[in-house]
Amino acid sequence: MSVNWVLPFDEKLYPEGCKIVEPEAYVKMHESTVKDYKNFWAGIAKELSWYRPWKEILDESNPPFYKWFVGGELNACYLCVDRHAKGSRKDKVALIWEGEPYANGMPKEVRKFTYGDLYTEVNKVAYMLRNTYGLKRGDMIGIYMPMIPELPIVMLAASRIGVAFTVVFSGFGEESITERMNDAEAKLIVTADGGWRAGKIIQLKKIVDEVLEKAASVKGVLVVKRVDCEIDMVQPRDRWYHEELAKVPEGAYVEPERMKSEDPIYVLYTSGTTGKPKGQVHDTGGYMTILHATMNWVFDVNEEDIYWCTADIGWVTGHSYLAYGPLLEGMTEVMYEGSPSYPEPDRWASIIERHKVSVLYTSPTAIRSWMKFGDEFVNRHDTSSVRLMHSVGEPINPEAFKWFYRTVGRNRVVFGSTWWMTETGGIMISHIPGKAIVPMKPGTNGLPILGIDADVFDENGNPQKIGDRGYLVIKQPWPGMPLTIYKNPGRYKEVYFSKFLGSYYAGDYAVKDRDGYFWILGRADEVIKVAGHGLGTYELESAIVNHSDVAEAAVVGVPDDIKGEVPVAFVILKVGNEPSDELRRDINSIVRDKIGHIASLKEVYFVTRLPKTRSGKIMRRVIKAVLTDKPVGNLATLEDEASIDEVKKAYSELRQELSRKPT
Ligand code: WT7
């Protein structure tokens, strides 16, 4: 997204009641952890329970394919559930789930699971996955579910028996799921009949039925009954979750698999500008270690906390900081099913009040939409239980930061913007109140967490000057980093480790200020971040060219007040077709069907040529510059200058047309 505020380097905030560390002191402490990073991380990993200790902290024999804690054995489900259920937290509430439907000023459903309940559930589900489906260690399943408790339960149960999974966000459409199921070669899809979103039913099983025609590896569909809508069940391929669970013997126990530290826990797909989505493969031992560290440092876990991460489990934030992280630490967490503004824009504030949320993890796009509705909806509720807040997903503009800090945070809590990515597995740059906190600055990400060696490089791979924009890199391996891109190690090396040899290239622009704080400015590549979720131009363009009248398409992101960025498309029609509003609507509905609603195009422009390099690559940055009234920059590689005029013309014509239409 475009970031055009001036960095307010000097505006520092001191949250009440916090022992503040000056940046220089933090930098010193940080330096020592980076210098001896292997032993530093081994010290953290030791705090988990291992069936067998590792022989080697880090296997660096085949860079950039690093393996952490080689020789060690552990189980993620055991760590997140058994340890607590077998100990003093047996009757402690692990999960408070709130469904979306609402009546008479109250949610219609709230379900609570103690650690003891979770233990019973994950054992039953693990038993069923093993016995009904014959799933075993090393297998892969797909998960396409709404935000219901069965979702994390299925993930944990899979981890229990050593089955890896790939979760597809329930807002995604048929094409996105098919592509992921085929790449992952999933054997089973776990889904639901449908889900609730803003008072409406989202049909999920119906979409899965379409996927099944094109995903040969998938042999079975397990369906949770959530909304009780009409669906087709094809026997014996499709089975109801509750019917299968009813067959599991009372008190079933499934011994957790002793997983090798470097065994994959899951694959999660990220999108890009070219090629298919990239399956990021996360390990078990390193991943649990980064979660354990960051839960404690960033979220400053206390036994009494009520923790709420508002992210959907379909994204990495929900994997790391909803499904695993908080349970790893034995916390009580809230999970909410539906829309933030259903039935009214105060829903989130009411959840905070009713469940007494003390730690809140949310996103800039959510904050901006709260801000749009105004203070009133926050003020209807008592948010004084909140003591710590963080945001994630995209840069937070200082205005939104200050508004949230003033309203929900009541000018006194710690509030940060944690930087990380699907690839990093866990938070990398953040304020860490649980360990040491430097003064806050509205809009910053803060300093790298302990043990993480981040920097900002110039184009040549040298450290960039303070205050100048450069590329964000991580210079040493860290626990939680990907093992590889699923079935494509060459691409892993190429995308992340070829721009700057020896360093991980994040693909983000960043600035470091004179206190050493990082300010992540947005993507340097062409991933569009819609409401904090990365969409690849490639996937959107491929969906558009599905339309029989379309020859070619280019998609770019343009700034949006609430969502940060939204996609617009430039479309070349096949000869003999005329631009029309109907065609615009058709193209948009293809995108929504195939990729999902989140990808809705803000605008469709018709052109006869596109700016391309001589080698035929679409120059999206040029299109974007035109749309945002910025200079188009270096055009040395441009094939055909006149294409820019076409883009400009299409843009201004549509603007004029829209301004003529009554609103
Ligand atoms: C990209 C990764 C990891 C959580 C969800 C997103 C952007 C993420 C911040 C932040 C500025 C941020 C970056 C990054 N990003 N957090 N606090 N400030 N930018 O995961 O979909 O893999 O996206 O999100 O551009 O590269 P993701």
Position 7 scores a pLDDT of 61
pLDDT band at 271 (very low <50, low <70, confident <90, very high): confident
Taking 90 as the threshold, does the pLDDT of residue 374 lie above it? no
69-89 pLDDT tens trace: 999 999 999 999 999 999 999
What pLDDT, in 10s, does the model give residues 339-373?
999 999 999 999 999 999 999 999 998 998 888 88
Instruction: Give me 445's structure tokens.
Output: 């990400």
Say yes or no: CB of residue 298 within 6 Å of ligand 1. Answer: no
Q: Could you give the percent of the chain with pLDDT greater than 90?
A: 80
**47, 540, 606: which is closest to 272 by C-alpha?**
540
Mean pLDDT of the chain: 93
Q: In this predicted model, what pLDDT tens digit does every residue of 176-192 receive, in sequence order?
A: 999 999 999 999 999 99
Name the nearest CA neighbour of 410 among 439, 383, 437, 391: 383
Query: How far, in Å, from the CA of 419 to the mean position of ligand 1?
Result: 6
Among 365-369, 381-385, 583-587, which stretch is predicted with the lowest mean pLDDT? 365-369
DSSP line for 337-403: -S-TTSSSTTHHHHHHHHHT--EEEE-HHHHHHHHHH-HHHHHTS--TT--EEEE-SSPPPHHHHHH
Pocket test for ligand 1, best of 287, 367, 420, 508 (most atoms within 8 A of CB): 420
**Is the per-residue pLDDT at 634 higher than 80?**
no
- Residue 5 pLDDT exceeds 70: no
663 pLDDT above the threshold of 90: no
Ligand 1 atom at minimum distance from 418 CA:
17
Res. 542 pLDDT band, cuts 50 70 90: confident
Rounded mean pLDDT, 239-265: 98
Q: How far is the CA of 338 from the centre of ligand 1 (A)?
A: 22
Q: Where residue 49 falls among pLDDT bands split at 50, 70, 90?
A: very high
For the chain, how long is the longest CA-to-CA vector?
A: 73
Q: What is the mean pLDDT of residues 113-142?
A: 98
Q: What residue has token string 């189980």?
A: 75
- Please give the number of the atom of ligand 1 that sits closest to the Cα of 420: 3
pLDDT band at residue 661 using 50, 70 and 90 as cut-offs:
low
Residue 566 Cβ < 6 Å to ligand 1: no
Cα 556 to Cα 536: distance, rounded to the nearest angstrom: 10
- pLDDT score recorded for residue 8: 58
Check if 421 has its Cβ closer than 6 Å to any atom of ligand 1: yes
270 lines ligand 1 (CB under 6 A): yes
CA distance 34 to 133: 45
DSSP line for 575-599: TT----HHHHHHHHHHHHHHTBGGG
Between the CA of 2 and the centroid of ligand 1 the distance, in Å, is: 14
pLDDT digit string, tens, across residues 291-326: 999 999 999 999 999 999 999 999 999 999 999 999
- Least confident residue range of 206-210, 392-396, 476-480: 392-396
Ligand 1 centroid to 10 CA: how many Å? 24
Q: What is the mean pLDDT of the segment spanning 429-448?
A: 95
In short, whether 278's Cβ falls inside 6 Å of ligand 1 is no
Ligand 1: nearest atom to the Cα of 527: 25
pLDDT class of 9 with cuts at 50, 70, 90: low
482 Cα: distance to centroid of ligand 1 (angstroms): 16
Residue nearest atom 5 of ligand 1, based on CA coordinates: 393
Query: What's the pLDDT band for 620 if we cut at 50, 70, 90?
Result: confident
Q: What atom of ligand 1 comes closest to residue 430's alpha carbon?
A: 17
The alpha carbon of 363 and the centre of ligand 1 are apart by a number of angstroms equal to: 10
pLDDT band at 545 (very low <50, low <70, confident <90, very high): confident
**Is the per-residue pLDDT at 287 higher than 50?**
yes
Cα-based distances in Å from 6 to 96, 367, 519 = 41, 20, 11
Q: What confidence category does residue 3 fall into, taking pLDDT thresholds of 50, 70 and 90?
A: very low
- Other CB atoms closer than 10 Å to residue 230's CB: what's the count? 9
Any ligand 1 atom below 6 A from CB of 272: no
The pLDDT of residue 351: 98
Cα angle at 448 between 72 and 455, to 5 degrees? 105
In percent, the amount of the chain with pLDDT more than 70 equals 97
- Ligand 1 lined by 394 (C-beta under 6 Å): yes
Report the pLDDT value the prediction gives residue 662, as an integer from 0 to 100.
60
> Which domains, from first to last, does the chain contain?
526-660 (3.30.300.30)
* Distance (Å) from CA 520 to ligand 1 centroid: 9
pLDDT digit string, tens, across residues 221-246:
999 999 999 999 999 999 999 999 99
Q: Residue range 78-102: average pLDDT?
A: 98
